[in-house]
Chain A
Amino acid sequence: MSAAVTATYTADEMMAVAASRRLTDDNVCFVGIGLPSLAANLARHTHAPGCVLIYESGTIGAKPVELPLSIGDGELAETADAVVSVPEIFSYWLQSGRIDVGFLGAAQIDRHGNLNSTVIGPYEAPAVRLPGGGGAPEIALGVEHVFVLLRHSPRAFVEQLDFTTSLGDNLRVVITDLGLLERRDGELALVAVHPGVEVGDVLAATGWDLLVADDLGETEPPTDAELDALRALRTKGGG
């Protein structure tokens, strides 16, 4: 179903590359572990060496050589310009509006870009208790540009969230394993598909009638340079 089947790169790699391309050299980026960390560090190692990475553990300007496995790896502290307390990261740095990009993931997203990372089912008696919001609710409203990384499936892209953890107001793009979604007239629309992905694949993997942009494009496949940098990072662990 996803591009990974046919291509010489995986769907996760396509996601990471597509996400990294959204970062510019002067971004200050609030990064979570996993794909966001992979994407942000890929950007640092390719077109955006000046991009500042901030992890909620308090590391400002971290430049990990090896990808961190956890938000608080020692590597992050050792390579950071500054390490501050967790209360300070959320008050002086995030709340102050000094961070312009934030990556978020979620278990569910709706057509307005609102996110659920709290529960599946009713809050009082959930079918699945998820980890919870963590930094997401304030990141979602505290940065100018929210990038969401989320694999496409009808269980994730739902008509109705079971719980609204974070608001989609500042969401700029949703990067999935199938394509890219952006807001059109306040509602998420498919604006690009990854190479080898049919629009039908995306519609089938979305739990609501997904708008498709008139100017639908196709994502540039990862370049060799991007894949080399990406795989060099991954072999160093994590991602």
Chain B
Amino acid sequence: MLDVDFFRRWMAAAAAAVDREADRLTELDSAIGDADHGSNMQRGFAAVTAVLEKEDPQTPGAVLVLAGRQLISTVGGASGPLYGTLLRRTGKALGDAPAVTDQQLAEAFASGVAAVGQLGGAQAGDKTMLDALLPGVEALGTSYAAAREAAEAGATATVPMQARKGRASYLGERSIGHQDPGATSSALLIATLAESYERGGGGS
């Protein structure tokens, strides 16, 4: 079972990963966007860390709902509402259980990803975060490691795509040949989920 500590560790690992990779994310966003994805994610996850510390939520669902709300309130841009919705909807789907199964998380995460699709109107192949999230959540039914690999492969697969959503779509064909920053951060988010699982298991 995955308890509240597991979800805190995940968020902490995500914050650390985003910190570490911020420059790379911004660099990717320079090529086909506006050079802020790294600092957006950094600002958001720093705020998540702070609010989790301060409000000390007691269930997996509460952790993710709070984290999502905080992203919405601090990130802005396209990624703020989208990542905020991802975590909030995932958290809502987890309800108020004190601990959840791998299977429950996989299902809840799937509903979070679906909400991202609905909110942003993007589909697989549009060169967005969904290109990492969709394969990632699909493989989550198999294993965390498989999810990580699938998400990473999904992010890499955005390189040859022409963007059809978000800022990169303004570039038309010039968006081809660059990896999507949001897909890259989504792969990070799923990698830190796998990492949290491998490092400490479900915590119980």
A binds B: no
Residues of A within 8 A of B (CB): none
B residues near A (Cβ < 8 Å) are: none
